[in-house]
Structure 1
Amino acid sequence: MPNASEVASRVHDGVHSANPFQTVSSHSKNSVIAYKIITPISWLVLVITSVYYDFAAPHEGKYSRHTIWRQNSVRHSPFALNSIITSLYWIALFIIQIPYVASLFQNSEQVENHNTAYNLAPHFIFNNLLWMGFIHLWCRSYFWWAELLVIVNFFQLTFTYFRYPSTTKITHAAALAGPLAFSFVALYWTGAAAVHSHHFAGRVAANVFIWTWAVYGGFYLFVFKDWTMGFALSILSAALGVAQFLTVIVAVQWIEAFIIMALLFLVSLAVAVPGVVGKEPFRRGEVVSEDRERAPLLADSSNNV
């Protein structure tokens, strides 16, 4: 008969094995199969939902119903985005997510940091489901509920970002930096639409809060050397600047957006170029081999002998 400590240990292991967001060093056969099935399905459903609501408005709902970008025009705000640039951003993001999804089906010997890909899978699935729910709510004018989903996704992606510092560049951009950057921008985009901040006071507040984009991007650039986050926010700042310029020319919001875009782009380029040419490692996305991790320890041990 097991004693109390053994029972407590089994309960602890059971709770952690049931938690899909727990960082683990290995995965069971059943969890691997589940990730291989659910991950591509969630990605495909989000792609289909995004494309469908780009061109078709929902037929049911209590409030006004529009396509994604028609809603962006109807609820125009100081944080409204340009449809073309933002759509290209998401198309590029969906494309670079394909190698990450494909990596789940490759052998661990073929893919570096293979276990991290499975650790990221539940967060990636959750991100896809939340964005799918967001699109349904956004197109049906449930802005506050849509904002709630954005907040939840922003925090879960932020926690995931700090939990997995070692991923490949493509996986980092596809599963972490790209979705997180848009989640941050969507906090303002959806919130401004929810309060319908097209009035003077709303624009004055927007002229102040837009600089948090530069601060947020600068944090990841200077602390983590994450140029993928910098470039992502630079593109989205361009989407904001173009949208504001084409609708409200006599304003400073588009000027500030373009200034932030330029700053983030230049700093991101300065951070990225040394890593690309091999002078400085990619701090966030670099995958360090086991031999390289052990090298300093081996050197120390040899000196002590």
Structure 2
Amino acid sequence: MASSSQEQLTTYKAVSVITFLLSIYGGLNYVGVPEGDLAHTPYSGSNLLLFIYWGIMYVWQLIYIIQAFFSLDEYRSSVIQLVGWHFPVFNVLAYIWFEFFTRGHYFLSELTLIINFINTLILYFGHKTFAVKPLTNWLLIHVPLVALTMSWLLYAIFWNGAIWLHIHKTWGRIVANIFIWNFLLVPGFFLLLFNDWATGLSFSFLMFALGFGQLGTKVFALQWIFAFVIAGILLLWSFIAMIVGAPKQIIDVEQAPLLVVEEERTTTS
């Protein structure tokens, strides 16, 4: 039984590393959106800042792989059980999105983003990564695998959707001026309920990217103003949440994520 479990663990490690490299490969082959109307939607952000965002996420995920996958500590093995197959699934779907998006299959790329977003939400609420402790493990697991990925996926759903539906004219921008406030409501929900300042900071960075991208597209417009306002609010809110207290923990052990339970067992023993 132990041998079978070890084999499964080894298989999972190999699949996770391979899919991580696959995701990076897809990112390196990304050529962007063709010039023209498609490149100037109300959700088109600064390419430079978006590339920086992906770079930070990849580096953070690499640190997770090194720390969690190449450690002989049994406690670190519980990290893998906590995350399950959500991490390699994200990587595969990210690669598929790159392929569809680069080739102009925007409906299929939108569908891929939605599926991946659901995958990340299941990881967030199903395994309750927001309650992982101590803070070092929260930074190792929740930030690179959930906060950064979930924030990007929601932003990409709006951006990809705007490209797919050719939203770049006046009425489309008016609607976008309304829907952009979802980027305050959604992270605000996670900040208010879970004190999840990592998600707040992730959305804040993406809104700064959107603001600079829109400023370079249409100076006389509301979208970049709203983006900067949302980014500023989230930045301030996230820093306050970071200073005031750690991410909220779950009191009921049965509702806690696997990693929390494992840590409590280790402490009591």
Q: Check if 1:40 corresponds to 2:17.
A: yes
Paired residue for 1:94? 58
> How many correspondences in the alignment?
250
Alignment-mate amino acid for residue 205 of structure 2:
I
TM-score between the two structures when normalised by the length of structure 1: 0.76
Alignment of 1:66-77 (within 5 A): 67-70=31-34, 74-77=38-41
For residues 90-147 of structure 1, what are the alpha-carbon distances to aligned partners after superposition, in whole Å with 9 as ceiling and x for unaligned? 0000001012112122123463xx3132331410000011010001111111101100
CA distance in 1, matches of 2:194, 2:56: 23
- 2:110 matched to which residue of 1? 147
Mapped to 2, the partners of 1:70 and 1:105 lie a distance apart of 41
- Greater RCO (CA < 8 Å, at least 6 residues apart): 2
Structure 1 unaligned segments of length 5 or more: list them: 1-26, 54-66, 275-279, 295-305
| Off by >3 Å, runs of 4+ in structure 1 | 69-75, 284-289, 291-294
- Distance apart, 1:283 and its partner CA: 2.4
- Contact 1:100–1:117 (CA<8 Å) still a contact in 2? no
Q: Is the 8 A contact 1:241 1:258 kept in 2?
A: yes
Deviation string 1:42-61 (CA, Å, 9 cap, x unpaired) is 111111221122xxxxxxxx
CA distance, structure 2, for counterparts of residue 255 and residue 239 of structure 1: 12
In 1, Cα distance between the equivalents of 2:205 and 2:180?
14
Q: Which residue of structure 2 aligns with residue 14 of structure 1?
A: none
TM-score (norm 2): 0.86
Answer yes or no: is 1:116 the counterpart of 2:79: yes
CA distance in 2, matches of 1:210, 1:39: 34
Q: Following superposition of structure 1 onto structure 2, how do residues 1-305 of structure 1 map, counting pairs within 5 Å?
A: 28-53=5-30, 67-70=31-34, 74-102=38-66, 103-109=68-74, 111=76, 114-165=77-128, 166-167=131-132, 168=137, 169-274=139-244, 280-283=245-248, 288=260, 289-290=263-264
In structure 2, distance between residues paired with 1:84 and 1:200? 26
User: Does the 8 A contact of 1:79 with 1:240 survive in 2?
Assistant: yes
Deviations 1:232-266 (A, max 9, x none): 00000011100000010010000000000000000
Tell me if structure 2 keeps the 8 A contact 1:116–1:164: no
- Pick the structure with greater CA Rg: 1
Over the aligned positions, Cα root-mean-square deviation in angstroms equals: 2.4
- Cα displacement (A) at 1:71: 6.2
